[in-house]
């Protein structure tokens, strides 16, 4: 969702900014723009700096083409750029960022929403001729009214009047050596190089140049020069910032020969799953120990409820966590999507342990829910992928899932790693309550076996592609699963609809007869997850019912299940595992099925329409 890139240094800014925007494409956008300030030398003297801006609707390639055609922006070493995901105003060039003020000397890129923009607009009056319908342009004009020669001071006083959320970067023709960056509720990272700085909504644009970063906190404003970056808070008091070292590498953020990031990330899973569990368990004791939990054994024993908050795919991983906590630790667990939890006055207290589960660590609804839980006195822990993200920093502890950069909008490897970490957490609590060494060991063996089993499934990708080829013309699909395979069905169905645009729904198998069965026909295939577990015979009955209505069935079955082959020619076999670890295994063929369907239909797999990777608005 909207991406900001900024650069100030010694190198030409344009290629860095365009490459940075491309690396943020995964967040989702519909238009893009760039502004660069160039101090041109004439007869050994610097003439007044030239500030140029180019914007375009559509892909970065369109922007790149336009820049090239205009022959503009080539020499400057300072600039800002933006990908816009429309919230206020249509997708037009006028509404694309950077926005400017009446003088044309100030350029601004903004992520977030200025909630009181109508009031500010009214206060600015007719003197300010606005070019766009965005809330962001209002900020450029607001800063203009406060500008008296000090850019940082102008940004700072303007922001006192803005309500809402912002991550922003501002540059000015009269300030060829600085970019002012500010954050409230919308992330900004500053990469520290040698005589140069990079600004971005997340760390991916700066990975080729530096791994040394500073995360801005809410209410902080940085004046980013080439060689230093003083940071102040909204009261102008200096804030001490620490440089952090990222452990992601640039290679992880590349496609490495795969046609899409999504496929590459599906294939990353055996490796990153090992990263999620490494050093976090003790096989001999059948126990897990996630240090980030930050709770004494007494505090752990006093936990009476677990509440898991998340959105989308992360919420389906969280649902697996619910089953695991109840089964292993005997602690009642509930899952809530962030947008519901934050408004429904949830019952949480000092005996409630709340996990905020998020790949990006920036999802606005999950973050708001986390803050609500903290306010009510719960223990709040994050299960997060992006290092230094807001949820990671605002939780009182927690665990990184170590999936590495996930670029495709559709989440795959982050889901798997979230499930693994939740299983370990459930085991950690379970061993203090009712789980024996032997049960703990069995679970750990199943988890450690999973990467190899996932490899086996991936090696059979061709069979899944053939099934996708057969079904790619369908308009609807139903996914069914029971018990711990219900979240698997939900996740498989979400993957299919979001990247292929085929309508699909997921139900617990037992619910089919209460409604969805009415939909079944020979054109309405059902994906049934029927691996060997305590619900197997119930799923078999469901499959018989589906077949009686002549609906085709794609069965996900355990290797060796001959019956599945008798019932359907479309069977995807998966290696056997424990019931609790089934989501680690059974979700993989569903990811591949969705991927191949979308790819065969020619969809924009990595950037499905209307979706954003990091949903930082409510
Ligand atoms: C689906 C998907 C989304 C995210 C959701 C939460 O493939 O990616 O449903 O899972 O927007 O995002 P995070 O995990 O970043 O909080």
Top pLDDT among 352 and 249 is at 352
Check whether residue 372 and residue 483 sit in a common domain. no
Q: From the CA atom positions of the chain, what is the Rg in Å? A: 26
Which of 266, 312, 419 is the pocket-test mutation for ligand 1 (most atoms within 8 Å of CB)? 312
Instruction: Give the 3-state secondary structure percentages of the chain, helix then strand then coil, rounded to 5.
Output: 40, 20, 40
Res 133: pLDDT: 87
Domain assignment present for 607: no
- Phi and psi for 291 in degrees, rounded to 5? -60, -35
Determine the Cα–Cα distance for residues 17 and 169; give it in Å rounded to an integer. Answer: 13
What residues are annotated to the active site?
Answer: 2, 613
Ligand 1 binding pocket includes 312 (Cβ within 6 Å): yes
Check whether residue 516 and residue 380 sit in a common domain. no
Nearest alpha carbon, ligand 1 atom 5? 312
Res 126: pLDDT: 82
- In terms of Cα–Cα distance, which of 324, 608, 345, 596 is closest to 439? 324
Ligand 1 binding pocket includes 615 (Cβ within 6 Å): yes
Atom of ligand 1 nearest to the CA of 366: 16
Q: Tell me the pLDDT band of 27, cut-offs 50, 70 and 90.
A: confident
Ligand 1 binding pocket includes 360 (Cβ within 6 Å): yes
Q: Determine the average pLDDT of the residues in 224-250.
A: 90
Q: Which of 246-260, 504-518, 597-611 has the lowest mean pLDDT?
A: 246-260
Check whether residue 181 and residue 280 sit in a common domain. no
Q: Is the pLDDT of residue 250 over 90?
A: no
- d(CA 312, ligand 1 centre) in Å: 5
Which of 340, 411, 495, 500 is the pocket-test mutation for ligand 1 (most atoms within 8 Å of CB)? 411
Check whether residue 182 and residue 224 sit in a common domain. yes
Domain assignment present for 84: yes
Res 40: pLDDT: 67
Residues 41, 2: contact at Cβ < 8 Å? no
Domain assignment present for 253: no
Report how far apart, in Å, the C-alpha atoms of 415 and of each of 26, 283, 288, 324, 422 are. 17, 24, 20, 15, 11
- d(CA 349, ligand 1 centre) in Å: 27
Return the number of other C-beta atoms located less than 10 Å from residue 519's C-beta.
Answer: 15
Determine the Cα–Cα distance for residues 549 and 592; give it in Å rounded to an integer. Answer: 27
Domain assignment present for 255: no
Nearest alpha carbon, ligand 1 atom 9? 312
- In terms of Cα–Cα distance, which of 286, 220, 204 is closest to 253? 204
Structure tokens at 583: 């989501």
Residues 107, 131: contact at Cβ < 8 Å? no
Q: Is the pLDDT of residue 506 over 90?
A: yes
Residues 440, 285: contact at Cβ < 8 Å? yes
Which of 308, 359, 386 is the pocket-test mutation for ligand 1 (most atoms within 8 Å of CB)? 359
- d(CA 410, ligand 1 centre) in Å: 7
Q: Determine the average pLDDT of the residues in 80-84.
A: 96
Residues 545, 513: contact at Cβ < 8 Å? yes
Q: Which of 383, 418, 453 is a domain's end point?
A: 453
Ligand 1 binding pocket includes 313 (Cβ within 6 Å): yes
Structure tokens at 195: 């005589």
Q: Tell me the pLDDT band of 186, cut-offs 50, 70 and 90.
A: confident
Check whether residue 491 and residue 433 sit in a common domain. no
CATH number of the domain bearing residue 389: 3.40.50.10490
Q: Is the pLDDT of residue 399 over 60?
A: yes
Top pLDDT among 263 and 611 is at 263
Ligand 1 binding pocket includes 358 (Cβ within 6 Å): yes
Q: Is the pLDDT of residue 461 over 70?
A: yes
Q: Determine the average pLDDT of the residues in 537-553.
A: 94
Nearest alpha carbon, ligand 1 atom 7? 410
Top pLDDT among 291 and 254 is at 291
Report how far apart, in Å, the C-alpha atoms of 70 and of each of 49, 81, 173, 554, 574 are. 18, 17, 20, 53, 55
Q: Is the pLDDT of residue 502 over 60?
A: yes
Check whether residue 267 and residue 402 sit in a common domain. yes
Structure tokens at 105: 């000397």
- d(CA 338, ligand 1 centre) in Å: 11
Q: Determine the average pLDDT of the residues in 345-364.
A: 93
Structure tokens at 111: 């992520």
Atom of ligand 1 nearest to the CA of 386: 15
Q: Tell me the pLDDT band of 88, cut-offs 50, 70 and 90.
A: confident
Which of 308, 363, 370, 417 is the pocket-test mutation for ligand 1 (most atoms within 8 Å of CB)? 363
Structure tokens at 393: 């920093």
Domain assignment present for 612: no
Check whether residue 440 and residue 489 sit in a common domain. no
Residues belonging to the chain: 618
Residues 554, 580: contact at Cβ < 8 Å? no
Determine the Cα–Cα distance for residues 61 and 69; give it in Å rounded to an integer. Answer: 12
DSSP structure class, residue 329? I
Structure tokens at 496: 């299919």
Res 70: pLDDT: 78
Q: Which residue has the tokens 């922007």?
A: 63
Res 46: pLDDT: 59
Check whether residue 318 and residue 404 sit in a common domain. yes
CATH number of the domain bearing residue 41: 3.60.20.10
- d(CA 446, ligand 1 centre) in Å: 26
Ligand 1 binding pocket includes 411 (Cβ within 6 Å): yes
Q: Tell me the pLDDT band of 252, cut-offs 50, 70 and 90.
A: confident
In terms of DSSP bridges, do strands 305-310 and 333-337 run parallel, antiparallel, or are they unpaired?
Answer: parallel
Number of structural domains the chain divides into? 3
Burial of residue 516 (number of CB atoms within 10 Å: 0-12, 13-18, 19+):
middle
Ligand 1 binding pocket includes 314 (Cβ within 6 Å): yes
Nearest alpha carbon, ligand 1 atom 11? 312
- d(CA 36, ligand 1 centre) in Å: 33
Structure tokens at 482: 């029971």
Nearest alpha carbon, ligand 1 atom 3? 312
Q: Is the pLDDT of residue 131 over 70?
A: yes
Check whether residue 240 and residue 275 sit in a common domain. no
The boundaries of the domain holding residue 100 are 3-246
Q: Is the pLDDT of residue 432 over 80?
A: yes
Determine the Cα–Cα distance for residues 352 and 290; give it in Å rounded to an integer. Answer: 18
Q: Determine the average pLDDT of the residues in 533-554.
A: 94
Res 53: pLDDT: 94
Burial of residue 215 (number of CB atoms within 10 Å: 0-12, 13-18, 19+):
buried
Q: Determine the average pLDDT of the residues in 454-465.
A: 97
Which of 1, 27, 311, 417 is the pocket-test mutation for ligand 1 (most atoms within 8 Å of CB)? 311
- d(CA 573, ligand 1 centre) in Å: 27
Q: Determine the average pLDDT of the residues in 5-29.
A: 92
Task: Give the list of residues 6+ apart from residue 134 with CB closer than 8 angstroms, or none.
Answer: 88, 89, 95, 97, 99
Atom of ligand 1 nearest to the CA of 410: 7
Residues 407, 265: contact at Cβ < 8 Å? yes
Give first-to-last CA distance, the chain, whole Å.
12
Instruction: Write down the mean pLDDT value for the chain.
Output: 93
Nearest alpha carbon, ligand 1 atom 16? 358
Check whether residue 293 and residue 380 sit in a common domain. yes
Q: Determine the average pLDDT of the residues in 16-28.
A: 89
Q: Is the pLDDT of residue 42 over 90?
A: no
- d(CA 41, ligand 1 centre) in Å: 48
Q: Determine the average pLDDT of the residues in 246-262.
A: 83
Residues 189, 361: contact at Cβ < 8 Å? no
- d(CA 357, ligand 1 centre) in Å: 10
Ligand 1 binding pocket includes 363 (Cβ within 6 Å): yes
Check whether residue 85 and residue 151 sit in a common domain. yes
Res 43: pLDDT: 58
Q: Is the pLDDT of residue 44 over 70?
A: no
Atom of ligand 1 nearest to the CA of 310: 16
Q: Determine the average pLDDT of the residues in 481-503.
A: 98
Q: Is the pLDDT of residue 373 over 80?
A: yes
Q: Determine the average pLDDT of the residues in 253-278.
A: 92
- d(CA 330, ligand 1 centre) in Å: 28
Q: Which of 431, 453, 475 is a domain's end point?
A: 453
Q: Calculate ∠ Cα 412-416-421, nearest 5°.
A: 145
Residue 357 — left, alpha, or beta (φ > 0 → left; ψ -120 to 50 → alpha)?
beta
- d(CA 315, ligand 1 centre) in Å: 8
Which of 314, 319, 356, 500 is the pocket-test mutation for ligand 1 (most atoms within 8 Å of CB)? 314
Q: Which of 246, 279, 294 is a domain's end point?
A: 246
Atom of ligand 1 nearest to the CA of 313: 10
Q: How does DSSP assign 266-318, residue by residue? A: HHHHHHHHHHHHTTSEETTTTEE--GGG---HHHHHT--EEEEEE-HHHHHHH
Q: Which of 217-221, 223-227, 387-391, 529-533 has the lowest mean pLDDT?
A: 387-391
Nearest alpha carbon, ligand 1 atom 10? 313
- In terms of Cα–Cα distance, which of 320, 315, 390, 329 is closest to 357? 315
pLDDT tens digits for range 590-604: 999 999 999 999 999
Most confident of 59-63, 461-465, 604-608: 461-465
Ligand 1 binding pocket includes 366 (Cβ within 6 Å): yes
- d(CA 358, ligand 1 centre) in Å: 7
Domain assignment present for 608: no
Check whether residue 343 and residue 277 sit in a common domain. yes
Instruction: Estimate the crossing angle of helix 485-500 against helix 582-600, to 10 degrees.
Output: 20
Domain assignment present for 617: no
Domain assignment present for 366: yes
Ligand 1 binding pocket includes 359 (Cβ within 6 Å): yes
* Predicted TM-score of the model (pTM): 0.82
- In terms of Cα–Cα distance, which of 615, 616, 613 is closest to 28? 613
């Amino acid at each position: 969702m909207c991406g900001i890139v900024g650069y100030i240094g010694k190198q030409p800014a344009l290629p860095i900014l365009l490459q940075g925007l491309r690396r943020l494409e995964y967040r989702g956008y519909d238009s893009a723009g760039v502004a660069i300030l160039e101090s041109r030398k004439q007869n050994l003297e610097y003439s007044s700096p030239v500030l140029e801006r180019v914007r375009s609707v559509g892909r970065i390639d369109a922007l790149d083409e336009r820049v090239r055609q205009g022959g503009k922006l080539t020499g400057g070493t300072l600039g800002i750029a933006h990908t816009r995901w429309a919230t206020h105003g249509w997708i037009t060039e006028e509404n694309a960022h950077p926005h400017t003020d009446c003088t044309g000397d100030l350029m601004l890129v903004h992520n977030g929403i200025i909630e009181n923009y109508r009031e500010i607009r009214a206060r600015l009056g007719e003197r300010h001729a606005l070019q766009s319908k965005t809330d962001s342009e209002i900020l450029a004009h607001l800063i203009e009214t406060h500008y008296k020669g000090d850019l940082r001071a102008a940004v700072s006083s303007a922001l006192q009047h803005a309500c809402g959320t912002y991550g922003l970067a501002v540059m000015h023709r009269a300030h060829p050596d600085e970019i002012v960056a500010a954050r409230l509720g919308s992330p900004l990272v500053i990469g520290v190089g040698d005589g140069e700085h990079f600004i971005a909504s997340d760390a991916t644009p700066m990975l080729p140049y530096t791994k040394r970063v500073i995360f801005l906190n809410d209410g902080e404003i940085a004046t980013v020069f080439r060689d230093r970056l003083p940071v102040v808070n909204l009261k102008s008091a200096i804030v001490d910032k620490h440089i952090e070292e990222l452990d992601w590498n640039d290679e992880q953020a590349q496609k490495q020969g795969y046609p899409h990031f999504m496929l590459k990330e599906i294939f990353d899973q055996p490796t990153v799953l090992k990263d999620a569990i490494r050093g976090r368990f003790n096989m001999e004791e059948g126990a897990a120990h996630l240090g980030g939990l930050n709770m004494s054994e007494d505090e752990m024993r006093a936990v009476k409820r677990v509440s898991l908050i998340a959105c989308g795919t992360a919420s389906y991983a969280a649902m697996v966590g619910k089953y695991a906590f109840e089964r292993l630790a005997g602690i009642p667990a509930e899952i809530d999507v962030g947008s519901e939890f934050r408004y429904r006055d949830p019952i949480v207290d000092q005996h409630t342990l709340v996990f905020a589960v998020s790949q990006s660590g920036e999802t606005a609804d999950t973050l708001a829910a986390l803050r609500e839980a903290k306010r009510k006195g719960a223990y709040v822990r994050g299960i997060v992928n992006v290092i230094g993200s807001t949820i990671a920093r605002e939780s009182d502890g927690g665990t990184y899932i170590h999936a590495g950069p996930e670029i495709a909008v559709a989440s795959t490897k982050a889901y798997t790693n979230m499930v693994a970490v939740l299983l370990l957490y459930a085991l950690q609590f379970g061993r203090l309550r009712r789980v024996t060494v032997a049960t703990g060991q069995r679970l750990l063996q199943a988890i450690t076996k999973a990467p190899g089993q996932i490899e086996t499934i991936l090696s059979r990708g061709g069979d899944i592609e053939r099934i996708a080829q057969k079904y790619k013309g369908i308009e609807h699909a139903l996914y069914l699963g029971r018990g711990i395979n219900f979240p698997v069905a939900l996740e498989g169905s979400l993957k299919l609809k979001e990247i292929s645009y085929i309508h699909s729904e997921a139900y617990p198998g037992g619910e089919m007869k209460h409604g969805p069965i009415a939909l079944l026909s020979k054109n309405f295939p059902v994906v049934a997850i029927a691996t060997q577990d305590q619900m197997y015979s119930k799923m078999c009955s469901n499959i018989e019912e589906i077949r009686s209505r002549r609906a085709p069935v794609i069965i996900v079955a355990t290797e060796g299940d001959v019956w599945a082959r008798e019932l359907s020619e479309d069977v995807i076999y998966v290696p056997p595992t424990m019931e609790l670890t089934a989501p680690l295994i059974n979700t993989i063929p569903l990811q591949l099925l969705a991927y191949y369907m979308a790819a065969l239909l020619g969809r924009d797999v990595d950037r499905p329409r209307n979706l954003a990777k990091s949903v930082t608005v409510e």
